[in-house]
Amino acid sequence: AQLDTLDLIVLAVLLVSSVAYFTKGTYWGIQKDPYASSYALANGNKAGKTRDILKKMDETGKNCVVFYGSQTGTAEDYASRLSKEGSSRFGLKTMVADLEDYEYENLDTFPEDKVAIFVLATYGEGEPTDNAVEFYEFITGEDPSFSSGSGSDDKPLANLKYVAFGLGNNTYEHYNAIVRRADAALTKLGACRIGKAGEGDDGAGTMEEDFLAWKEPMWTEFAEKMGLEEREAVYEPVFSVTEREDLSPDSGEVYLGEPNKNHLEGTSKGPYNSHNPYIAPIVESREVFTVKDRNCLHMEIDISGSNLTYQTGDHIAVWPTNAGKEVDRFIKALGLADNRHKVISVKGLDPTARVPFPTPTTFDAVVRYHMEICGPVSRQFVSQLAAFAPNDTSKAEMTKLGEDKDYFQEKVSSHYLNIAQLLLRVDPNPWTKIPFPLFIEGVNKIQPRYYSISSSSLVQKKKISITAVVEEIRVPGSENIVKGVTTNYLLALKQKQHGDPHPDPHGLTYAITGPRNKYDGIHVPVHVRHSNFKLPSDPSKPIIMVGPGSGVAPFRGFIQERAAQAKAGEKVGMTVLFYGCRRSSEDFLYKDEWDTYKQSLGDSFALFLAFSRETPGQKIYVQKRLQEQADLVNTLLQQKANFYVCGDAANMAREVNVMLGQIIAEKRGISSEKAESIVKGMRSSNQYQEDVW
């Protein structure tokens, strides 16, 4: 057929636009996701703000940017600490930047006299944090939507000087994988690292000390390379706090804990995500343990009024509120009791400083809704506070705590003290000299906590179940009792819902009805996080699940789903659950439900139970049951069963991994090395999936 002129023009236009489309984002041999910036915009980046980091640094006169890839706030906190330290000790012009807020394609023009610092947490199974996905895929060339081509210049980042610190957990398979891979990629692209690539280990509980030990030699090398002189560190606030005499807490524009403007104005709308929670009704709550001193909550959260969706295996994030007792203690330690409801405006003194909560607000609201006041205290922060102690004795004590690692361990860490407890122990008088901005900088932003959804989206599309064990730690050798922030808040919500006459024995109370009573009628702020922890799309495939304790949560959802599929006449493959707890009479979760599922699934459901405290002298864990069922496990794996582990990352998940290797070695008559590599292969092909914490 002949093409007429119009056809040719149309074809030419199509060709040009598709070339433009496919080359958009191709820079120095690394490929970039063309959807990335729209994704970031949808995720809270304000339209109109520049995504060009070099331009931003130029406009604001910065010579050092500290990027963070953070999931739970620790990496973000370390980034802001490095930024402050660079400024106060070396006079650097620093800024902190969320990796999700910028593009990276012009890093090849990063000036030689500037430095980029990367603080990168590794999340889940060796994954980047949500806000670092784009950067990570870009820099490592792993963006799956494009093939990685090789550019003309193989050292495009030769001008870039950088510093790297990773946050990881050695109990996970891919320890600090993200910082290691990002560092290797940067080096390969010609960038020059200053100091060692640091690694902090949450698994060993040494994160803070690893960070402190890493940063000193790094700063020495940094100063040497960049020709900087260290000076006497001076505190320069990043934020200003101004009292607003013109406003009262009743003024409509004052945030009393509302997470953003729409919530303040009562016009909250989706999309609901990690920047914008949905205030969801809790439609049902009950306890699933039968013992008095331990609690496990089952809750049903209704998402039908939102546009939220979930899939079986996803996580729900709960936005907590601090306990009244802890808010009071913090307010007292700072001497703010008389001013707690005064209205304040908080502003960044530097154009790159972000106030971590909306203002105008009140001291009470900031402390109650936005600060992680109960968490572990950083030794570096204690050093900073020393200068503002009420008198010389307390100043000397704070200085010693800040400098002496062992002393700090003995006096603070081993008792799990929070910041207000520490201050009041050092000196029970109010610490009125500490500028409030220092707390905004030094105390982490409160983090939503994740829960593995324990229902099936096929069975209850608009209702999300959670299964949460209430945290209460009696610290050995100390009179202190640590109460988990979120789970005790959820417990209080459950008690309120049931008109429970027995409030917490340790006097915890909560602002249950939320800011301006907006959470009244038992509501909780939530968002959903989609996960890769998923059932096989073909239900006839067998599955093996190992989930002791609250690790059973997602498997209740999995089994609920397969039981519904079986009931609907679908062919459902073998469904095996290994569950463990202390005693069948105390903490056996969903004890009566399993029979119901069995009725639908029949012989294709098998439940193996391990009770660790039932028989004196015999501590039986799920690993033992796995070993006993080696034949079944091996046969199902050879039939391509998916293998899932959920729950305790520190011990259980690792031991299950080892046990699986042993089973495969024994049953297939192969060496343990060969078996281990089979298990590794199962992990990389997603046949072996973990949801651990």
**Does the annotation count 452 as an active-site position?**
yes
Count of CB atoms within 10 A of residue 326's CB?
Answer: 19
Q: Is 373 in the site for ligand FAD (CB under 6 A)?
A: no
- Nearer to ligand FAD among residue 220 and residue 478 (C-beta): 478
Q: Which of 295, 418, 455, 604 binds ligand FAD (CB under 6 A)?
A: 418
Q: Is 452 in the site for ligand FAD (CB under 6 A)?
A: yes
Instruction: Spot the catalytic one: 83, 285, 452, 531.
Output: 452
**Does the annotation count 4 as an active-site position?**
no
β-bridge partners, 460? none
Interface with ligand FAD in residues 503-562 (CB under 6 A): 550, 553
Interface with ligand FAD in residues 430-449 (CB under 6 A): 449
- Nearer to ligand FAD among residue 468 and residue 682 (C-beta): 468
Contact 183, 168 (CB under 8 A): no
Q: Is 16 in the site for ligand FAD (CB under 6 A)?
A: no
Q: Which of 315, 340, 518, 523 binds ligand FAD (CB under 6 A)?
A: 315
| Amino acid letter for position 600 | S
Q: Is 468 in the site for ligand FAD (CB under 6 A)?
A: yes
Q: Is 203 in the site for ligand FAD (CB under 6 A)?
A: no
DSSP structure string for 596-641: HHHHHHGGGEEEEEEESSSBTTB---HHHHHHHTHHHHHHHHHTT-
- Nearer to ligand FAD among residue 346 and residue 490 (C-beta): 490
CB of 177 to ligand FAD, least distance (A): 17
* Cα–Cα distance measured from residue 31 to residue 262, given in angstroms and rounded to the nearest whole number: 37
Instruction: Spot the catalytic one: 101, 587, 648, 691.
Output: 691
**Does the annotation count 192 as an active-site position?**
no
* Residues whose CB falls within 8 Å of the CB of residue 426, separated by 6 or more in sequence, listed in order: 389, 394, 397, 398, 401
**Tokens found for residue 156:** 């495009």
- Nearer to ligand FAD among residue 92 and residue 417 (C-beta): 417
What CA–CA distances, in Å, run from 168 to 185, 345, 657?
A: 18, 36, 19
Q: Is 122 in the site for ligand FAD (CB under 6 A)?
A: no
* Residues whose CB falls within 8 Å of the CB of residue 467, separated by 6 or more in sequence, listed in order: 288, 296, 297, 298, 451, 452, 454, 550, 552, 553, 556, 589
CB of 376 to ligand FAD, least distance (A): 4
First to last CA, the chain: 63
DSSP structure string for 274-335: TTB-EEEEEEEEEE----SS--EEEEEEE-TTSS----TT-EEEE-----HHHHHHHHHHTT
- Nearer to ligand FAD among residue 198 and residue 484 (C-beta): 484
- Nearer to ligand FAD among residue 385 and residue 485 (C-beta): 485
Q: Is 204 in the site for ligand FAD (CB under 6 A)?
A: no
Report which of 129, 131, 111, 128 is spatially closest to residue 63, judged by C-alpha positions.
111
Q: Is 117 in the site for ligand FAD (CB under 6 A)?
A: no
Instruction: Spot the catalytic one: 214, 455, 646, 648.
Output: 646
Q: Is 300 in the site for ligand FAD (CB under 6 A)?
A: no
Site size toward ligand FAD (CB under 6 A) is 24
Q: Which of 312, 361, 486, 604 binds ligand FAD (CB under 6 A)?
A: 486
Q: Is 450 in the site for ligand FAD (CB under 6 A)?
A: yes
Contact 51, 36 (CB under 8 A): no
Q: Is 370 in the site for ligand FAD (CB under 6 A)?
A: no
Interface with ligand FAD in residues 160-179 (CB under 6 A): none
β-bridge partners, 544? 576, 643
Q: At CA 692, angle to CA 687 and CA 693, rounded to 5?
A: 165
625 Cα distance to chain centroid: 32
Q: Which of 171, 295, 444, 487 binds ligand FAD (CB under 6 A)?
A: 487
* Cα–Cα distance measured from residue 83 to residue 303, given in angstroms and rounded to the nearest whole number: 40
CB of 45 to ligand FAD, least distance (A): 24
**Does the annotation count 219 as an active-site position?**
no
Q: Is 467 in the site for ligand FAD (CB under 6 A)?
A: yes
Q: Is 123 in the site for ligand FAD (CB under 6 A)?
A: no
Where along the sequence are the contacts to ligand FAD (CB under 6 A)? 315, 320, 374-376, 416, 418, 449-452, 467-469, 471, 473, 482, 484-487, 550, 553, 693
Catalytic residues: 452, 646, 691, 693
